[in-house]
Amino acid sequence: MTSCLSSRRGASGFTLLELLVAIGLLAVVAVMSWRGLDEILRTHDSLARAEGNLDELQRVFQRLEQDALRARDARTLENRLQLSDGTDLVEYQFDNGALIRQVPGVERGGVRFEGELAAMGIEVWQDRFGWTDGSRSTDGTPAGRVAATGVRLTLTLRNGDTASRVFLLGSGI
């Protein structure tokens, strides 16, 4: 009987307690790894969404710049910006979180920005009055009698970020 016990003590292997400790440590490492991977995936999705919004916003600004270069005057009415080259009119309107480009008499289309947009601010530059909302000058005189030479568009996203850009009118004519 003594020989049987001594041969077991010399055998190599792990005890049940050692195996349970090892499995517990692996479980903790797996949970920590899963949380880290999950955070990386969430960040990736968030960055991809932000990049898509930025690309779309850049297209809106490029289209607005093209319209502004052809325009000779700009007017604002509530949440709308109207650019006119003397014969054609292009209108940008903020409606239910979307910025829509519309040519009167033509179906809506061209540019439609719906990426997390919360608000739009429009100001026009008039040489005599400076930046105004386009309906009245700073001294209260109707600003519609003075042609605008620039437009400042400020878009506010739902997360609080703002994008603002100034466009000169008519410099492409």
Where are the domains positioned within the chain?
Answer: 26-168
Is pLDDT above 70 for 1?
A: no
- pTM of the prediction? 0.63
Q: How far apart are the first and last CA of the chain?
A: 108
Greater confidence (31 vs 12) lies with: 31
Which phi and psi angles does 150 have, rounded to 5°? -160, 160
Rounded Cα distance, 173 and 162, in Å: 30
Closest listed residue to residue 155, CA positions, set 56, 29, 88: 56
pLDDT at 10 over 60: no
β pairing state of 89-95 and 117-126 = unpaired
- 48 or 97: which leads in pLDDT: 48
Q: pLDDT tens across 127-169, in order?
A: 778 888 765 544 455 544 567 888 898 888 888 888 889 988 8
pLDDT band with cut points at 50, 70 and 90 for residue 50: confident
More confident residue, 26 or 134: 26
